[in-house]
Chains A and B, each alone.
Chain A
Amino acid sequence: MPDAILSALLFQAGYNAALVAIGSALLGIAAGAGGTFLFLRKRALISDAVAHATLPGIGLAFIAMVALGGDGRNLVGLLAGSAVSAAVGLLLVDWIVRHTRLAEDVAIGAILSVFFGLGIVLLTVIQTMSSGRQAGLEGFLLGSTAGMLRQDALVIAVGGALALAVLVLLRRPMTLVAFDPGYAAARGVRVQAVDLAMMGLVLAVTVIGLKVVGLILIVAMLIIPPVTARLWSERTDTVVAVAGVLGGLAGYLGAAISASAPNLPTGPIIVLVSFSLFCFSLLMAPSRGVLAAAVRHRRFQRRVHRRQGLLALARNEPILDPLTLKVLRRDGLIRPDKVATDAGRARAAKALRDERRWEVARRMHQDEGASGRYDGLTSIETVLTPDEIAAIDAEIGAPRLAGQGAN
């Protein structure tokens, strides 16, 4: 099995496997990067409505192509049909939100289920048609890469490249609209048009992804990589890039793994790989990860104990808590006999002054209680601007070092 995966990774598992791996990787990049703007605009779920709304279009395109005497399985024709019906679904969601009292989540639920239901009815009808038995349209539900052709991979490559080009071109307006739509409108950006372009991007990714992962799971490729990338970065451009890389990696790895054994479905494996990357990131990411949070909590606890100990030293109070004593001794602030060292006395005086400043700061900035940085433990210089501190010091009076710890 490991050998099989390795050979698939190195494009040595056969022509079809290599095509699928390349196609999946390209799709993953476009979906991850494109999905990021949807995620930042807080409209991720609308991609699910778009995906499900493709199904009637696939059915109708098949019927139309057969009726015109052509091959109903022509991929470009089927995708064109799916794009049209997805666009109709998208515009209906938009219309419902704009012109009725229904909220977007309700509109999404309604469009998603009705279009999917209609699509399933059409597929059943096609099953009864003489030319419909081998149509294999069910493959679009969960993706089917077994019979993937060179031209299918080409469709994905061209579609993905176009989607990425649009994304690069519109990255600034899309970022602006996602962050602050009111300001964007005030600058003359047509917010509705940018939103529509964003949706068009998602629609394009969804349509070209139908063959690989299918309409039920494409949502995962649009949402999981951006959420994962957000764990790693605090900058929009980086989040977009990382999401593209993670999406591409998941597509490539997933395709390789599914090629390594018979009957492993490509789409679901890609989604599982993507989810594994998410789990890893959730644990390991710096600053936003779970482990980092645990470490931060432990450091915070020690900071609390250090501050309590220093204030006790400044006020000449006895220290009883064993952890406080341990922290102070490790930092060289007290001697083993619990008497403050020179460094300890200096730090204690500073702590007392900081405490006073925080007291005033909390009074002057009452609305900031929730922001979490007004904990009174963070060094005040890193939280407030110099003029804010000056205002506080003016309130406290001349900087005199009060308390027993002062020298």
Chain B
Amino acid sequence: MSAPKLELAAKDGARAPSPTEIANASLALSEITVSYGEKPAVFSVDAALPRESMVAIIGPNGAGKSTLLKAALGIVPRLSGSVRVFGQEIERARDRVAYVPQRASVDWDFPTRVIDVVLMGLYRELGLLRFVRKAHRERARACLERVGMADFAERQIGQLSGGQQQRVFLARALAQDADLYLLDEPFAGVDAATEKAIIDVLHTLKAARKTVVCVHHDLATVVDYFDHVLLINVRKIAEGPTATTFTSDNLQATYGGRLASTHIDQLKLSS
């Protein structure tokens, strides 16, 4: 690790967003710290992610990417910090946020069918007692159609491949009709056809003026898929448009020399 470089980058990255930036951001994080035991997994991360953009959260394994997302949503408790969504408290904006967890996070032998999982996306609308009606089912089916899984609606979820499971999770998020989509490693371990299907859906979302934020691990596709990046390694290293921020220096600072320079050379980097 090159300590001086890290320090410089951290100084630049640690600048807290101004109130105007927070109000205009899709997702604004202020001084988020999360700790498992006494070891901080995420330390004082600030970010103001632009609206109507495709954002990648990038960093090495154990850098706290997923944790940051979970902390923003309140899935894991924050030690400090606050979260605003489109300028509002997150509690008031829950319906505008759709979350796609890592598919490994659930038991796929659970007794439920593909369509039932998608219907979970309508959870707030259905409330506690309302019955699932034909209109709800048709909406769920339309979401499955968008990810190419309409024929699988009645299948038990345990019969799906990994890529198909990921598509079902995406369909559940679509059913919510949110404005901000937070996805945790949506491309991890999926086949090429699924990766294409997912990125197509995400690009449609962006075209519909939605915001998409992905925890992403594949550096080779960052430039093609995303227009904004947030580089973290426990602390924030850098944030900004892919064109100016996804640089060799920032990657070195993020990965702390763990990234072979030959690997970096092969990436389509911004100069």
B153 to chain A, nearest CB (A): 12
Q: Which residues of chain B have C-beta atoms less than 8 A from A386's C-beta? A: 148
Q: In the complex, A178 Cα to B127 Cα: how many Å? A: 17
B70 and A182 within 8 A (CB): yes
Which residues from chain B contact A188 at a C-beta distance below 8 Å?
91, 94, 124
**Residue B26, interface by CB 8 Å:** no
Excluding A172-B128, A188-B94, 12 further A-B contacts by CB distance (< 8 Å) are A173-B128, A175-B112, A178-B110, A182-B99, A182-B105, A186-B94, A230-B111, A234-B111, A236-B116, A368-B162, A384-B161, A388-B193
Contact status A180-B106, CB under 8 Å: yes
Please name all residues of chain A whose beta carbon is closer than 8 Å to the beta carbon of B197 when the two chains form the complex: 385, 387
Q: Given the complex of chains A and B, what is the CA–CA distance between A238 and B156 in angstroms?
A: 13
Q: Is A291 an interface residue (CB 8 A)?
A: no
Q: Interface code A109-127, partner B: CB below 8 Å = 1, 0 otherwise? A: 0000000000000000000
Contact of A183 with B128 in the complex, beta carbons under 8 Å: no
Can you show 22 pairs from A to B with CB atoms below 8 A apart?
A: A169-B129, A172-B127, A176-B120, A180-B105, A186-B74, A186-B101, A188-B91, A230-B111, A234-B156, A235-B116, A236-B110, A364-B192, A374-B161, A383-B161, A384-B161, A385-B148, A385-B151, A385-B164, A386-B148, A387-B196, A388-B163, A391-B191
Interface positions, chain B 89-142, Cβ under 8 Å from A, are: 91, 94, 97, 99, 101, 105-107, 110-113, 116-117, 120, 123-124, 126-129
**Binding site secondary structure of chain A:** helix
Within 8 A of B (CB), among A154-188: 168-170, 172-173, 175-176, 178-180, 182-183, 185-188
Contact of A236 among B74, B112, B163, B192 (CB under 8 A): B112
Residues on B with beta carbons closer than 8 Å to the beta carbon of A169 = 128-129
CB distance from A17 to the nearest CB of B (A): 36
**Residue from B123, B191, B192 within 8 A of A187 (CB atoms):** B123
Question: Is residue B40 contacting chain A, with contact meaning CB distance below 8 A?
Answer: no
Contacts of A365 in B (CB 8 A): 161-163, 191
Is there a chain B Cβ closer than 8 Å to A233's Cβ? yes
- Decide yes or no whether A373 CB sits under 8 A from chain B: yes
Known A-B contacts A172-B128, A180-B101; the reply to A236 vs B161 at CB < 8 A is: no
In the complex, the answer to whether A40 meets B110 with C-beta atoms within 8 Å is: yes
Q: Determine if A367 is an interface residue (Cβ-Cβ < 8 Å).
A: yes
Give chain B interface residues in 142-187, CB to chain A under 8 Å: 148-149, 151-152, 156, 159, 161-164, 172, 182
Task: Give complex CA distance A365, B101 in Å.
Answer: 21
Name which residue of chain B comes closest to A367, CB basis. Answer: B189
Question: Contacts A364-B191, A386-B148: A187 and B105 contacting too (C-beta < 8 A)?
Answer: no
Is B208 in contact with chain A by the CB < 8 A criterion? Answer: no
- The answer to whether the Cβ of B260 comes within 8 Å of any Cβ in the partner chain is no
Residues of chain B within 8 A of A172, CB atoms compared:
123, 126-128
For residue B194, CB closer than 8 A to chain A, the reply is yes
Chain A, Cβ-Cβ closest to B147:
A385
Query: Does chain B have a CB within 8 A of A371?
Result: yes
Chain A residues with CB below 8 A from B91, complex form:
188
A390 to B128 alpha-carbon distance, docked (Å): 42
Give A24 Cβ to nearest chain B Cβ, in Å: 27
Of residues 177 through 223 on chain A, the ones whose CB sits less than 8 Å from some CB of chain B are: 178-180, 182-183, 185-189
Q: Give the CA-CA distance A236 to B172 in the complex, in Å.
A: 17
B160 CB to nearest A CB, Å: 8
What are the residues of chain A within 8 A of B3 when measuring CB–CB? none
User: Nearest-CB distance from A156 to chain B (Å)?
Assistant: 26
How many of B's residues come within 8 Å of A, CB to CB?
Answer: 44
Given contacts A185-B73, A186-B73, contact A387 B148 (CB under 8 A): yes
Closest to B200 in A: A387
> What mask results when residues 339 to 369 of chain A are scored 1 for a CB within 8 Å of chain B, else 0?
0000000000000000000000000110110
CB A10 to nearest CB in B, in angstroms, measures 35
Residues from chain A with a CB closer than 8 A to the CB of B191 are 364-365, 368, 388, 391
Identity of the chain A residue whose Cβ is nearest the Cβ of B197 in the assembled complex: A387
Per the 8 Å Cβ criterion, residues 26-61 of A in contact with B are 40, 42
Most chain B beta carbons < 10 A, residue from A40, A182, A233: A182
Q: Is A249 an interface residue (CB 8 A)?
A: no
Pair A391/B192 contact, Cβ less than 8 Å: yes
- Cβ of A187 and Cβ of B124 under 8 Å apart? yes
Q: Which of chain B's residues has its CB closest to A232's CB?
A: B111
Q: Which residue of B has the minimal Cβ distance to A390?
A: B193
B113 contact set on A, CB distance < 8 A: 234-235
Query: Contacts A236-B111, A391-B193 known; A186 to B126 CB distance under 8 Å?
Result: no
CA distance A368 to B163 in the complex (A): 9
* A185–B97 CA distance with the chains assembled, in angstroms: 12
Is the CB–CB distance between B94 and A187 below 8 Å?
yes
Question: Across the interface, which residues of B come within 8 angstroms of A246, CB to CB?
Answer: none
A contact residues around B106 at 8 Å (CB): 179-180
Complex CA–CA separation, A234 to B149 (angstroms): 19
Q: Which of A169, A238, A384 gathers most chain B CB within 10 Å?
A: A384
CB distance from A239 to the nearest CB of B (A): 5
Specify the chain A residue showing the minimal Cβ separation from B100. A183
Q: How far is the CA of A173 from the CA of B120 in the complex (A)?
A: 10
- Select from chain A the residue with minimum beta-carbon distance to B105: A182
A176 to B101, CA, bound (A): 13
Report yes or no: B120 in contact with A186, Cβ–Cβ below 8 A: no
Rounded to whole angstroms, the CA-CA distance of A170 and B91 in the bound complex is 21
A226–chain B nearest beta-carbon distance, Å? 10
- Whether the Cβ atoms of A373 and B161 lie closer than 8 Å is yes
Which 6 A-B residue pairs are closest in the complex by CB-CB distance?
A186-B99, A391-B193, A188-B94, A234-B156, A388-B193, A186-B73
